[in-house]
Amino acid sequence: MGVFFKDIIGQRGVVEQLRCCVDENRLAHALLITGPRGNGKLAIAIALANYLLCGNRGDACGNCPSCVKLEKFIHSDLHFVFPVKKKKGSDSAPISDDYITEWRELLTKSAYFSYDEWLQKLDVENQQPMIYERESNEILHKLSMQSREGGWKIVIIWLPEKMKEACSNKLLKIIEEPPQETLFLLVSEEPDKIIPTIQSRTQCVVVPRIMQEDMENALQKRYGLTFDDAKLIAQQSGGNWEKAEELLSLSDEKAQYLELFMQLMRVAYARNIRDMKAWSEQVAALGRERQKRLLDYCQRMIRENFVMNFRHDEMVYMSQAERNFSVRFSPFVNENNIFGIMEELSEAQRHIEQNVNAKMVFFDMSLRMIVWIKNR
């Protein structure tokens, strides 16, 4: 399914601003679209591109040849750039086109996906996905050619902060002085990490959080929730559609993290050294990136369980499966031990980032957790 302005959740002010810029012929040649996570930045960028590329210059007329291709993300004048990993056995740097099939599969499901979902799709293991220098050569080559459809040529760069500096530097000139009817859309989570020379060549479009009323309406329409359920999820998600979807259902990876978190807390409480060793070996086999995400998840669960004790449901951001465990577990997280538990998890994360032996890190952490779980 394609992404058009009519598909954007809320954000009417931003959508109208961009539509007017196009209609009044005052659209900047490079936009830096940023703002909080889960607000639909990527969806807005794609919708803007589709608005420009539609043969009838309408919001998804659905009939012209361009719209048919845009629905499938295969329009020849719409180019996507995103972080990728090196393929096993290959010495050459990868480019986005090497993973375009996976990218289109994720977009077809939803344009409101997170970086973690993209990492899971790539199956990155211990790699850190990047936008490599070779990508700049591909972009320059594509933009040097005439438009296949006789109109705009558009490049959407998702997470430009992941660009290697050499890649950024090679794109400076074309971003500053692009060919006629060429548009760069940079969709960033951390714009401060983009080199200043790139930032200065773009016009910033700040997308706010999704308003609660818009979240409620979208949740009712897309998931068939009752008004009360939609209101609760909208409150808990804080204008973040990614978080709203996390609260609705656990992905396979999140379900695995929940199971590992529950196992850790249970073996720590039971002081079962043998099971701790088995747990540590299981986690060590996940690979460094997943280990880091597991530790992030554990820290989030500790925070949520601490907040749960205050009995303000609107402040607790957990799925139903997480809540089912936390109802009994939350009393074990309190002001006497939360800082100690969080420090153990943070220290383990630092050691994993420093490539310390994973079995040792997680076994040591689980042993230390015994003291804190018992400290009620």
Predicted local distance difference test score (pLDDT) of residue 325: 93
The better pLDDT of the pair 218, 311 is held by 218
Helix or strand holding residue 70 (H, E):
helix 65-71
The pLDDT, as a whole number, for residue 81 is 94
The residue with greater pLDDT, 18 or 246, is: 18
pLDDT, mean of residues 223-242: 85
Whether the pTM exceeds 0.75: the reply is no
pLDDT of 126 higher than 70: no
Percent of the chain with pLDDT over 90: 57
User: What does the pLDDT read at residue 267?
Assistant: 95
Q: Does residue 236 contact residue 198 with C-beta atoms inside 8 Å?
A: no
Strand partners, 239: none
- Of 60-74, 133-147, 337-351, the one with minimum mean pLDDT is 60-74
Give me the residues paired with residue 30 across strands: 184
Can you tell me whether residue 35 is helix, strand or coil?
coil
Going by pLDDT thresholds of 50, 70 and 90, the confidence category of residue 228 is confident
Q: What is the pLDDT of residue 251?
A: 62
- Ranges 141-150, 166-175, 216-225: which has the least confidence: 141-150
The CATH topology of domain 250-374 is Zinc Finger, Delta Prime; domain 3 (1.20.272)
When mean pLDDT is compared across 19-33, 146-160, 282-296, 348-362, the lowest value belongs to 146-160
Q: If you write DSSP's letter for every residue of 335-367 in order, what string do you get?
A: TTTHHHHHHHHHHHHHHHHTT--HHHHHHHHHH
Strands (E), 50-194: 78-81, 153-158, 182-187
* pLDDT given for residue 363 in this prediction: 96
Q: Mean per-residue pLDDT for 264-285?
A: 95
Q: Looking at residue 86, what DSSP letter applies?
A: P
Q: Is residue 313 over pLDDT 80?
A: no
Average pLDDT value over all residues in the chain: 88
For residue 357, which amino acid is it? N
DSSP class of 114 = -
Residue in 203, 218, 217, 212 with CA at minimum distance from that of residue 314? 212
What does the pLDDT average to over 189-218? 93
Q: What is the mean pLDDT of residues 193-207?
A: 93
Q: pLDDT tens for residues 323-345?
A: 899 999 999 999 999 999 999 99
**Beta carbons within 8 Å of 215's beta carbon, 6+ residues apart:** 9, 10, 230, 233, 234, 237, 239, 241, 244
Encode pLDDT of 89-116 as tens digits.
Answer: 677 889 998 999 999 999 988 889 888 8
pLDDT at 258: 94
- 5-208 is classed CATH 2.40.50.1070: no
Q: Is 116 helix (H, G, I), strand (E, B) or coil?
A: helix
For residue 142, pLDDT over 70 is answered with yes
Let me know: does 160 contact 169? Beta carbons within 8 Å. no
Per DSSP, the chain holds a count of helices (H) and strands (E) of: 17, 5
209/184 Cα distance (integer angstroms): 23
Nearest to 186 by CA among 255, 131, 147, 239: 131
Q: At residue 1, does pLDDT exceed 60?
A: no
- Judged against a pLDDT cut of 90, whether residue 73 lies above it is answered with no
What is the number of other CB atoms lying within 10 angstroms of the CB of residue 272? 15
